[in-house]
Amino acid sequence: MAVSEPTDIRAAGLRTAAAQFQFRGEPVAFLPYGNGHINDTYLVTCNGTCAPVRYILQHINRNVFHSPAVVMQNIERVTAHLAAQLAHEPDRARRALTLVPTRDDSNWYVDADGETWRAYPFIENARSYETATSVEQAFQAAEAFGRFQQQLANLPSPRLHETIPDFHHTPKRFAALQRAIAADVKGRVKLAQPEIDFALAHESMAGVLIEASLHTDLPERITHNDTKFNNLLLDDATGESLCVVDLDTVMPGLVLYDFGDMVRTTTSPAAEDEQDLSKVTMQFPLFEALVRGYLATAGEFLTETEKRFLAFSGKLITFEVGIRFLADYLAGDTYFKIHREGHNLDRCRTQFKLVESIELQEEKMNRLVESIAG
């Protein structure tokens, strides 16, 4: 079989990196995989003894994760703990990510340029979806992320590293937006004035969860911190949730950050960068499915305050991600990968439209949570 390689800037080092891992068979094909905003991900096919064997090979973006070793130390501990939790499951290899060791028995490889690579076995007969297409998919997602939190609730000390400090510290995210507005390094403020006005009008909600964590029973826990619907694999045959992926931001946080991001990425039928804002809406049946699925697995360890803020968390995290997209647009698109002019501004507009939709239904959402949580 002829070797197939991507044509991007990392093609030269890709095969060198792949050769460092204990893959079963010779790598014969490399294809870019997924559409993540941050890391470079490749599907590697090896000519196994009986049949092709596939792996995920990833390059960690140092511009985002300034200390890749810290990221990998967290992932080592988390994947090992999850494996222990699933030791008696017959299909445990499909229910948690497993790091592929390198030739020198490390769990990651640092190349001659100081770039960090890792690999996982590819989980076959499963896939991720950009948006939830049914109430059942939403339920499966929430049940899976709730289970993920529950499985990590008894992770032994020490405390996990913060791979991105203050990742979900909304007041600091808002302050960063204000600095980007003041600097206006690309002269884009005039192009985003309606979005800036919306953000400034909603400043008061930025600190709600931070304040609650200081004065109420809103404890720090181990959370995923990027619970987009596409960070979950569903079984092709049954539609059941299988495996939570993208563990770079697993670290201490509030469970509400995770639930809020599920609301943001699961309840609207529109893509994160949808340009037709008429398609963006918070679908209440999907929110209900999220609440029921999440409480089915996480409900036993949640405090009353955590439950009380479930509806609000969706609005807050959607707003937070919106101001991050807006700040990055104003700063010249230095953080999120873009694929067209104004891409981050489109993403911001989508988030803010969803915030509006949540606001219109927030009272009904709160009543639902109260009726289910008891």
Dihedral angle sign, alpha carbons of residues 293, 296, 298, 304: positive
Beta strands 221-223 and 232-235 are: unpaired
**What integer pLDDT is reported at residue 2 of this predicted model?**
38
Residues 234 and 137: their CA atoms lie apart, in Å, by: 8
The answer to whether residue 34 scores a pLDDT higher than 50 is yes
Give residue 317's Cα distance to chain centre.
Answer: 12
Mean pLDDT for the stretch of residues 81-108? 95
CATH code of the domain occupying 135-373 = 3.90.1200.10
pLDDT tens profile 293-320: 999 999 999 999 999 999 999 999 999 9
The answer to whether residue 13 scores a pLDDT higher than 60 is yes
pLDDT tens profile 44-56: 999 977 889 999 9
Nearest Cα to 298, choosing from 367, 235, 211, 369? 369
pLDDT band at 12 (very low <50, low <70, confident <90, very high): low
Angle at 229 between CA 72 and CA 118, to 5 degrees: 20
Spell 24-46 as b/e; 16+ CB within 10 A means b.
ebebebbeebeebebbbbbebbb
* Higher pLDDT pick, 335 / 207: 207
Residue 204 CB contacts under 8 Å (≥ 6 apart), including other chains: none
pLDDT band at 264 (very low <50, low <70, confident <90, very high): very high
pTM, entire model: 0.90
pLDDT band at 9 (very low <50, low <70, confident <90, very high): very low
pLDDT band at 6 (very low <50, low <70, confident <90, very high): very low
Domain boundaries for CATH 3.30.200.20 within the chain? 11-124
> DSSP assignment of 313-343, as one string?
HHHHHHHHHHHHHHHHHHHTS-SS--SSTTH
Residues 348 and 351: their CA atoms lie apart, in Å, by: 5
**What integer pLDDT is reported at residue 38 of this predicted model?**
82
Domain boundaries for CATH 3.90.1200.10 within the chain? 135-373
**Fold designation for 11-124:** Phosphorylase Kinase; domain 1 (3.30.200)
Nearest Cα to 339, choosing from 277, 282, 268, 271? 271
